[in-house]
């Protein structure tokens, strides 16, 4: 018989999202998704990358019912979502879209958060508590009464994030979160995903940012022409020159550097994958040279 720990482990290992051979064509006939099969596990942090028009946004829009697959099925926590409403699915899946202004429409920052919490049927006190908490966490308190239309690009992106995070969904999906963000805003975002991951959230991030994906996302899928063309550890996927060319991405800087070093004769640098490993490799090399003088 299995013990409790083994059973817990099995539950953890079950996919939280299953795409089972799905496809989608827009009403105008554009075939945006073709035969997509994909398992995403609880607590995973993964990236979706690929050229513009590859189908990334279409794929994530299927997760909260904004788009229903033309064929195939999607399971979230073992339930087929075909008959679940957008409202029900939005409690489980929080999607933060690329353009925050498509998501924001209340008269004030505080109202925006309150509106987002409305459908969760919480007590008045709980709502106020969550509003205060999230405004503080996102440093938006000073804008409490301001119209979302009068926020800067970075602040409105933060509000769009806050209005989804306050609902505490199990699965968080971000569509190009680092696009147009400055270094400080990206750092805030990285800390946010670290925090959410620590509490067991499953996180999916669409991104064109190779360095960000390489440094922070353990798994990456590559999409092209509505299909998944690669799925694996990010350091493996993004170091593959053939795949990178196919998706109009560029190789991570560390890989470019290691290729340049290899070309000057340092063949063993091939296995160096991270910045820290590269620092160690180079300092060993320098020490070795120094001791040979
Ligand atoms: N509302 C729409 N109507 C028709 N075609 C669309 C619509 N939205 C996207 N598409 C098309 O579907 C394909 C996938 O688009 P999308 O999912 O937005 O790609 P990505 O997010 O990877 O850039 C593209 O060919 C795009 O032109
Ligand atoms: Mg997109």
- Domains of the chain, by residue range, sit at 252-293
The whole-angstrom separation of Cα 206 and Cα 225 is 16
CA angle 188, 162, 160 (to 5 degrees): 95
| Beta strand extents in the chain (DSSP E only) | 15-25, 31-41, 45-50, 71-76, 79-80, 93-96, 171-175, 202-206, 219-224, 227-233
Ligand that comes closest to the CA of residue 98: 2
Question: Burial, 201: exposed, middle or buried (Cβ in 10 Å; 0-12, 13-18, 19+)?
Answer: buried
DSSP at 118: H
Which residue's CA is the closest to the ligand 1 atom numbered 1? 26
Residues in contact with ligand 1 by the CB-under-6-Å rule are: 26, 28, 30, 32, 50, 52-58
Tell me what the pLDDT averaged over the chain comes to: 93
180 C-alpha to center of ligand 1: Å? 21
User: Which residues have their alpha-adjacent CB atom under 5 A from ion ligand 2?
Assistant: 57
Q: Is the pTM of this model over 0.75?
A: yes
pLDDT digits (tens, 9 = 90+) for 76-86: 999 999 999 99
pLDDT digits (tens, 9 = 90+) for 229-279: 999 999 999 999 999 999 999 999 999 999 999 999 888 888 899 999 999
């Amino acid at each position: 018989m299995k013990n409790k720990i083994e059973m817990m482990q099995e539950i953890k290992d079950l996919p939280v999202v299953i795409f089972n051979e799905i496809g989608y064509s827009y009403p105008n006939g554009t075939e945006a998704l073709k035969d997509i099969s994909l398992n995403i596990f609880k607590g995973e942090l993964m990236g979706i990358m690929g050229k513009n028009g590859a189908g990334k946004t279409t794929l994530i829009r299927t997760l909260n019912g904004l788009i229903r697959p033309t064929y195939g099925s999607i399971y979230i926590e073992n339930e087929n979502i075909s008959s679940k409403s957008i409202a029900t699915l939005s409690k489980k899946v929080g999607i933060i879209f690329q353009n925050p202004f498509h998501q924001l429409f209340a008269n004030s920052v505080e109202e925006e958060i309150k509106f987002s919490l409305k459908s969760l049927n919480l007590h008045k006190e709980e709502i106020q508590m969550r509003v205060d908490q999230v405004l503080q966490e996102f440093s938006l308190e000073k804008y409490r009464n301001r119209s979302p239309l009068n926020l800067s690009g970075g602040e409105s992106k933060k509000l769009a994030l806050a209005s989804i995070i306050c609902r505490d969904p199990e699965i968080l999906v971000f569509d190009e979160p680092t696009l147009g963000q400055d270094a400080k805003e990206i750092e805030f975002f990285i800390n946010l995903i670290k925090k959410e991951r620590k509490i067991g959230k499953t996180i999916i991030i669409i991104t064109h940012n190779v360095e960000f994906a390489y440094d922070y996302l353990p798994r990456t899928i590559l999409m092209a022409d509505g299909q998944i063309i690669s799925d694996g550890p990010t350091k493996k996927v993004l170091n593959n020159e053939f795949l990178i060319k196919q998706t109009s991405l560029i190789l991570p800087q560390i890989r470019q550097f290691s290729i340049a070093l290899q070309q000057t004769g340092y063949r063993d640098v091939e296995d160096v994958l991270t910045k820290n490993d590269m620092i160690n490799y180079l300092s060993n090399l320098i020490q070795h040279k120094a001791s040979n003088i």
